[in-house]
């Protein structure tokens, strides 16, 4: 968001996501794939550009 000079409210409007999802993003909590895809549409990027998979080591 910083690279694109986009504020939280602007992203919420552009991606049509609710404040609950935006709060979860800010707190590094899990969000739905649907929300991730909406964000990808806003930034014209691939899902791998905005998230990563971290496997638990058991």
Q: What is the pLDDT of residues 3-23, one digit of tens each?
A: 556 788 888 888 899 989 988
- Please check whether residue 40 lies inside any domain of the structure: yes
**Angle, CA of 36, 41 and 43, to the nearest 5°:** 95
Is 57 among the domain residues? no
16-53 b/e with 16+ CB inside 10 Å = b? ebeeebbebbeeeeebeeebbebbbebbeeeeeeeeee
pLDDT over 70, % of the chain: 90
Structural domain includes residue 55: no
Number of domains in the chain: 1
For residue 27, give the nearest of 43, 40, 8, 46 by alpha carbon.
8
- What global pTM score does this model have? 0.73
- For residue 32, being part of any structural domain is answered with yes
22 falls within a domain: yes
Residue 3 lies in a domain: no
pLDDT for residue 36: 92
Domain hosting 24: range is 8-50
Is the pLDDT at 37 greater than 90? The verdict is yes
In a domain, 56, yes or no: no
């Amino acid at each position: 968001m910083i690279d694109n000079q986009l504020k939280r409210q602007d992203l919420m409007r552009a991606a049509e996501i609710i404040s609950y999802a935006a709060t979860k993003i800010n707190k590094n909590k899990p969000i739905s794939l649907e929300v991730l895809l909406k964000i990808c549409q806003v930034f014209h990027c691939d899902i791998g550009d905005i998230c990563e998979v971290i496997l638990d080591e058991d």
